[in-house]
Amino acid sequence: MSLFRALPPVSSCDVTATGETGLSTTGTHKNRSRRDRQVEVSFPINATKGSLMTFKYSLLASAVVGIMASAAAHADIVIASVGPMTGEYAPFGEQLRRGAEQAVKDINAAGGVLGQQLVLKIGDDACDPKQAVNVANQLAKEDVKFVAGHFCSGSSIPASQVYSEEGILQISPASTNPKLTEQGLKNVFRVCGRDDQQGVVAGEYLAKHFAGKNIALLHDKSAYGKGLADETQKEIQKLGQKEKLYEAITAGERDYSALVSKLKQENIDVVYLGGYHPEAGLIVRQMAEQGLKAKLIAGDSLNTAEFWSITGPAGEGTMFTFAPDPRLKAEAAQAVAEFKEAKYDPEGYTLDTYAAVQVYVAAVKKANSTDLAKVLPVMHDTTFDTVLGKLTFDPKGDLTKADYVWYLWSNGTYAQTKVD
């Protein structure tokens, strides 16, 4: 089903469309108020299926076509953010969506880009590689110039091939698998670190603090999860340690009791998981239920409040790596205040997505063009001022400086913590 929805920001009218392609579109039509121009229409993509057309409106239905046409006329520079807007990783999709929406709102309010306004499309890849490619192809058809996404490395990597072929700039806020920028694609960048950086930090900690202890390395078979576990394993072994157990889990399961029993049999002292918060949360909770006191440590995918909603008090003491908290940066103060005014905590990769949009806009302004061939040289020779601070990129599209620090879950929230 395809859904067209107009949900305007103050002093503008937005037209939003979502459908089987996993896309939604936010266009800007000036000088119309939120109350006067709110329209929502849904209808089936394939009418032969017999679905009924449904209208939800605050205007006459006949106004829909006029508003959509007007929005299209003002669809100046089309960009997109893509991530898991549905499914178990949807909290991260919301982070990307919120970050992109706020950035577009702020940039448009400040006059836009080259005298034009930004129009934002939201793509849902559900962290599925095939769906990610489908969304990427659809964005190419709709003349999108830039994509802030994807979230999962397993989606970003295949989608990047499409963006490369179609001349679309891609900046991922969150995909950390090294392969993304090791493909030799000139259009691919990221504003986060890499797993061969994050894995070093994790491996050093495990080798130092659990020397002579029983270490279990788990991964969820995803590009992100296995990649991170492998990089952590490399560092542990480089430092003369050896894990007791290296095992894959199946993402999406709800019962990990057999795994926990095996961890107990092996007298595991610490579990390192390359994977996402739903599985991490369940494993932590089920370890507590079986009386296993092993500590769980993971990567940056635990930076969502959803983790504690799964674990409850059992999550106390869980640690993970992530970049220094962007919410604490002076450069992010204004954006953070805007998010909080909207009753939203810009945790995780929210501000990374905001920064990705900032980078694109600054590059376009400096190049005085949205033409990728003109934008790319700017990407490599410019220091960008963002909510994450000053960012520069190396020839591969990685940040020239990417730090990872430790976070500790305690009393239902997480915060940076110092380790020796």
pLDDT of residue 305: 95
**Angle, CA of 40, 43 and 49, to the nearest 5°:** 165
pLDDT confidence bin for 62, thresholds 50/70/90: very low
pLDDT at residue 63 greater than cutoff 80: no
Most confident of 26-30, 54-58, 304-308: 304-308
In whole angstroms, how far apart are CA 204 and each of 238, 293, 302?
Answer: 9, 22, 19
Q: Give the integer Cα–Cα distance in Å for 344 and 287.
A: 32
List the one residue out of 365, 328, 362, 319 whose CA is nearest residue 347. Answer: 328
Average of pLDDT values for 145-154?
98
User: Domain 196-322 belongs to what architecture?
Assistant: 3-Layer(aba) Sandwich (3.40)
pLDDT value at 347 more than 50 = yes
Residue 227, CB half-sphere, CA atoms under 13 Å: how many? 20
Domain positions in the chain are 2-193+330-391, 196-322
Residue 393 has which token pair? 């990129």
* CATH match of 2-193+330-391 with 3.90.15.10: no
117 or 29, which is more confident?
A: 117
Predicted local distance difference test score (pLDDT) of residue 376: 98
Residue 25 pLDDT class (50, 70, 90 cuts)? low
According to the model, what pLDDT value does residue 38 have?
A: 29
Q: What is the pLDDT of residue 304?
A: 95
**In the prediction, which pLDDT does 26 show?**
57
User: Does the structure show a pLDDT above 60 at 83?
Assistant: yes
Query: Of 26-30, 272-276, 378-382, which gets the smallest average pLDDT?
Result: 26-30
Confirm whether pTM is higher than 0.75: yes
Q: What is the pLDDT of residue 24?
A: 66
9-13, 256-260, 410-414: which range is least confident on average? 9-13
Contact 83, 150 (CB under 8 A): yes
Both tokens of 107, joined, read 């940039």
Asked whether the predicted pLDDT for residue 55 surpasses 60, the reply is: no
Separation of alpha carbons 33 and 62, rounded Å:
18
Q: Produce one character per residue of 187-200: b if its CB has 16 or more CB atoms within 10 Å, e if not.
A: bbbbbbbbbbbbbb
- The phi, psi pair for 64, rounded to 5°, reads -60, -50
Tokens representing 72 are 């299209």
The stretch 15-27 carries a mean pLDDT of: 51
CB proximity list for 311: less than 8 A, separation 6 or greater: 281, 284, 285, 318, 409
> d(Cα 33, Cα 29) in Å, to the nearest integer?
10
3-7, 127-131, 302-306: range with lowest mean pLDDT: 3-7
More confident residue, 23 or 359: 359
pLDDT of residue 420: 84
Question: Do the strands 118-124 and 23-26 form a parallel or antiparallel pair, or are they unpaired?
Answer: antiparallel
Rounded to whole angstroms, how far apart are CA atoms 236 and 56?
Answer: 57
Residues 6 or more apart in contact with residue 47 via CB below 8 angstroms: none
Mean per-residue pLDDT of the chain: 87
Half-sphere exposure of residue 21: CA atoms within 13 angstroms, side-chain side: 20
Question: Residue 37's closest CA among 10, 58, 17?
Answer: 58
**pLDDT score at 61:** 34
Per-residue pLDDT tens digits for 196-247: 999 999 999 999 999 999 999 999 999 999 999 999 999 999 999 999 999 9
Question: Would you place residue 259 in the very low, low, confident or very high pLDDT band (cuts 50, 70, 90)?
Answer: very high
Task: Return d(Cα 47, Cα 52) in angstroms, integer.
Answer: 8
Bigger pLDDT: 36 vs 247: 247
What per-residue confidence (pLDDT) applies to 48?
35
Mean predicted confidence (pLDDT) in 91-98: 98
Residue 7 has pLDDT above 50, yes or no: no
Could you write out the three-class secondary structure of the chain? CEEEEECCCCCEECCEEECCCCEEEECCEECCCCCCCCEEEEECCCHHHCCCCEEEECCCCCHHHHHHHHHHHCCCEEEEEEECCCCCCHHHHHHHHHHHHHHHHHHHHCCCECCECEEEEEEECCCCHHHHHHHHHHHHHCCCCEEEECCCHHHHHHHHHHHHHHCCEEEECCCCCHHHHCCCCCCEEECCCCHHHHHHHHHHHHHHHCCCCCEEEEECCCHHHHHHHHHHHHHHHHCCCCCCEEEECCCCCCCCHHHHHHHHHCCCCEEEEECCHHHHHHHHHHHHHCCCCCEEEECHHHCCCHHHHHHHHHHCCCEEEECCCHHHCHHHHHHHHHHHHCCCCCCCCHHHHHHHHHHHHHHHHHHCCCCHHHHHHHHHHCCEEECCEEECECCCCCECCCCCEEEEEECCEEEEECCC
Neighbours of 110 (CB within 10 A): 9
What is the distance between the alpha carbons of residues 74 and 116, in angstroms, rounded to a whole number? 8
What is the reported pLDDT for 68?
36
